[in-house]
Structure 1
């Protein structure tokens, strides 16, 4: 299959820099898949940006004494630098600018003109002191479904929406002592129930590519009435809504998602020499692109339901996502990552002491694919030292010694058929980890570690040099999407058919704390 692939790393909210928990989730997973596809020869556009319209930016800025614009711009630069430092191979990191805003309106305005939105009078939390409606990141309370603490719009714990006045005991996130009441407001919504049949069929066809928790959430959501999705809100932060029914309102930041990633795709394509005539060009149905989302479980409802319904509302004009690869939360030393409580590790700080490949290996090995997992500095040092650095350096030393003793430097060595078969078997196992039907960074990282002892034993036993180097090269090609520095020159994702191979020097890996 040579369909173009659009890899979507859902845009992070620019209310601060990314921490290690963010990287271990969708960012590492998306990067590894994009690198794998490129190594197989697939055309790829891998993109993201930031969603500055989120009310979380407004709330965080007020707490920090900044304007939302100041916080958004500062965070945009920090996030871009962190992703680059961690080796996340984005083709483009799109700015939040007038072109972004225009792309959003170009996507939503035709839906309004076609009558896809409805006017609804809905009850919204209201701060009596400030005279502000409280939505999304401006309000918190308890989820009406699972009774866990939640912000407005969506519960991170159970994944279900909590629209309008459904939060229990609502309170302002910025002024917690202010009295919160409820007032009616007339807004525009997308009637989600009208897309139930299409959404049911959409998930029936894609269930085999979804992780179990996502499948469970989808079934729960479809077993209940699908609530209307707010397209506009009576708040002052965001893109002004141009619709006559809702004067003075702004676009709900979550309604920006699809046009935002279309714009990000176009921006990234331009960075790699693929000019576009329109920001939605790569998403047009006639392009037949494979769209893959990498996303935290807490965003499944918005990206997997409301955004897909918005695409469906365009009646076949655009492709729909082929796969949604979700992840759970990543903890720090068995506690939740929390910037406000100081329980956080930033990649920029970790990279000063730990080589990038070691961080990526450990994050891949411990990625929260199916349940909450944990980052620990002591565990990082122990695991990467014993499972990666020590056996790799042992292998490098043994091969270097064998080449010197045999006088084989610069001389091609024959490759036995058995070695070619083993190399192909290795890459088949990596392929099973990187393809979407069974995508798993955990298994890929574990497989890297599991192959090293076997190769060390072969080198210790004096195995054929040509075969050993051929297998090591295959291992590097399979590991390259994760170990981006070690595998920088590994070559395409294939074993090759050569009958002879030149010995090559294996670089040594430094341990954590030895930079």
Structure 2
């Protein structure tokens, strides 16, 4: 076990944590945040507290076809849309205290040249291994719109599960498919007129045999249900993943037919973005070594939702195996979708709680939002943000029971604390070990990390506790709470005289408390406080559960 209080002789370990590339065509809602984004921030904070060196890299999927679709709706350009919402998403992440070391827009300098250079280098490398192939496929074409009906413009039903789909993948089961395999295909735009099938030549990446890829996914502890999704995809589409699509807004891969654009398919472009993220790690750490280089000792972790299973497990991991001169990800952490009151978050129906709204809501603590999302999360299946349950957790638990314990211990703080009680520290060390198993693992559970924090809080010392006990219990709450509730943890750590962020290496050094500011106070939100954030789709006002 690496987690321990006080000085640690183990050298710091380097990590690269990559977040999904969100499409910059709108702001973030809690459904976006609740899975991969919050999860990776929780992991990064835990690793830093433990003494390791995580680097978090993400960026916008600016070339996703939904960007030009949004530009058409707003009467502007894809470049303006991607720049504006890239900045908005960055702000949304910051609003919920989710930090990155680099959040990049690959359509803007200085990253554009680096990304296009990586695309060119990767394709040359893969061509040299015979991994780039040309295939003829059928796509629908609208003569009136002079547009291939692909990407965001293609609607239909999933060939695997029958659910309604948009673009090349199914959000219900995670399947990906060729446009010609969409059931009952049609255009999003009713004015596109009669559609006709056309044959075009597209580029694909050849993949290693299915057994080799499945064996690699098994070694990464990818759950069987997602490996089954990959096997179905390979059985239907063949050992290939799309590399180009007939779209103008993309990194140009060169045309063979004047009227048929050949742009880098944005989902496969995540492979090149991954390699760029590895380069950025080398830049930021000063090693100059790509985190995915064969000689690298960096632990590489990515987090994704089920809609990105094929792009990541096939497009990145599978292509990495074909690339040969690189390591694959060490861990791929997959989450299901987060729901709102039992229904999927939906921007089109406005069934959403927007990050910017809840982060600024009266009496709603950002820490409380993070705490609830980490506790009620889609790790093992769909989870739902229930407003009444959130009010109960934020009010009864955080503002009520936990708030009372914080106030009682703060009143008992000594002017200069002495050494901690051994039994108290043994209990804390055991809970830190629980958090380590929950957060530094192929199967991450933020809910288990919250349980460790809750266990510590549920055994808070009473109002007559010895001042030393009050001090060390508060300090323990700060380190256990830091991954999930950084605002509370940082303020508590600082109040206890600690420097910088909470660190296990500094834990056992007694510091003189600075008590002038008082304890952290969690506000108690009401249904009226939360109501302005809730969509009309929820109907009647919400009351806390009893």
Work out whether the TM-score is over 0.5.
yes
The answer as to 2:336 corresponding to 1:328 is yes
The answer as to 2:83 corresponding to 1:69 is no
The separation in 2 between residues aligned to 1:130 and 1:237, in whole angstroms, is 16
The answer as to 2:249 corresponding to 1:237 is yes
Retained in 2: the 8 A contact 1:94–1:268?
no
The answer as to 2:361 corresponding to 1:361 is no
The answer as to 2:226 corresponding to 1:214 is yes
**Offset from partner CA, 1:47-102 (integer Å, 9 cap, x none):** 10011111111222222322211211111110111111211120111122222233
Retained in 1: the 8 A contact 2:220–2:442?
no
Give the superposed CA RMSD: 2.6
Structure 1 residue 179 displacement after superposition: 2.8
Structure 1 residue 153 displacement after superposition: 1.8
User: In the alignment, what sits opposite 1:204?
Assistant: 218
The separation in 1 between residues aligned to 2:213 and 2:279, in whole angstroms, is 26
Indicate which of 112, 116, 121 corresponds to 2:127. Answer: 112
The answer as to 2:295 corresponding to 1:295 is no
Structure 1 residue 395 displacement after superposition: 1.0
The separation in 2 between residues aligned to 1:191 and 1:254, in whole angstroms, is 15
Q: Structure 1 residues 61, 225: CA separation in 2 closer, same or farther (over 3 Å shift)?
A: closer
The separation in 2 between residues aligned to 1:398 and 1:311, in whole angstroms, is 55
Retained in 2: the 8 A contact 1:7–1:291?
yes
Indicate which of 471, 474, 482 corresponds to 2:473. Answer: 471
User: In the alignment, what sits opposite 1:167?
Assistant: 182
Structure 1 residue 501 displacement after superposition: 6.7
The separation in 1 between residues aligned to 2:278 and 2:40, in whole angstroms, is 14
Runs ≥4 residues deviating over 6 A: 243-247
DSSP-derived class of the 1:229 partner: strand
DSSP-derived class of the 2:105 partner: coil
Q: Which runs of 5+ in 2 are unaligned?
A: 1-10, 494-500, 531-546
User: In the alignment, what sits opposite 2:26?
Assistant: 16
Q: Structure 1 residues 346, 225: CA separation in 2 closer, same or farther (over 3 Å shift)?
A: closer
Retained in 1: the 8 A contact 2:178–2:237?
no
TM-score by length of 1: 0.89
**Offset from partner CA, 1:388-415 (integer Å, 9 cap, x none):** 2212221122123334xxxx3x132342
DSSP-derived class of the 1:93 partner: strand
Indicate which of 118, 123, 141 corresponds to 2:138. Answer: 123
The answer as to 2:443 corresponding to 1:428 is no
Indicate which of 345, 356, 368 corresponds to 2:353. Answer: 345
Retained in 2: the 8 A contact 1:48–1:261?
no
User: In the alignment, what sits opposite 1:284?
Assistant: 293
1:446-457 map, 5 Å? 446-455=451-460
User: In the alignment, what sits opposite 1:379?
Assistant: 389
Q: Structure 1 residues 159, 320: CA separation in 2 closer, same or farther (over 3 Å shift)?
A: same
User: In the alignment, what sits opposite 2:412?
Assistant: 402
DSSP-derived class of the 2:127 partner: helix
The separation in 1 between residues aligned to 2:398 and 2:42, in whole angstroms, is 18
User: In the alignment, what sits opposite 1:103?
Assistant: 118
The separation in 2 between residues aligned to 1:201 and 1:26, in whole angstroms, is 24
DSSP-derived class of the 1:443 partner: helix
TM-score by length of 2: 0.84
The separation in 2 between residues aligned to 1:220 and 1:470, in whole angstroms, is 53
**Offset from partner CA, 1:187-211 (integer Å, 9 cap, x none):** 121123x44232022012122xx34
Structure 1 residue 491 displacement after superposition: 2.1
Q: Structure 1 residues 177, 224: CA separation in 2 closer, same or farther (over 3 Å shift)?
A: closer
User: In the alignment, what sits opposite 2:319?
Assistant: 310
Structure 1 residue 510 displacement after superposition: 2.3
DSSP-derived class of the 2:486 partner: coil
1:434-513 map, 5 Å? 434-455=439-460, 458-460=461-463, 462-488=464-490, 489=493, 491-493=502-504, 496-497=507-508, 505=515, 506-512=519-525
Q: Structure 1 residues 220, 234: CA separation in 2 closer, same or farther (over 3 Å shift)?
A: closer
The separation in 1 between residues aligned to 2:151 and 2:297, in whole angstroms, is 34
Q: Structure 1 residues 459, 219: CA separation in 2 closer, same or farther (over 3 Å shift)?
A: farther
Retained in 2: the 8 A contact 1:426–1:475?
no
Structure 1 residue 292 displacement after superposition: 0.6
**Offset from partner CA, 1:262-300 (integer Å, 9 cap, x none):** 324544665xx54576xx823211113221110001101
User: In the alignment, what sits opposite 1:319?
Assistant: 327
User: In the alignment, what sits opposite 2:497?
Assistant: none
The separation in 2 between residues aligned to 1:327 and 1:412, in whole angstroms, is 43
Number of equivalent positions = 498
The separation in 1 between residues aligned to 2:344 and 2:218, in whole angstroms, is 34
Retained in 2: the 8 A contact 1:358–1:512?
no
Deviating more after overlay: 76-85 vs 386-395 = 386-395
**Offset from partner CA, 1:223-267 (integer Å, 9 cap, x none):** 666453221222222111047699842111122102113324544
**Offset from partner CA, 1:13-34 (integer Å, 9 cap, x none):** 1111111110111100111111
Indicate which of 66, 88, 95 corresponds to 1:85. Answer: 95
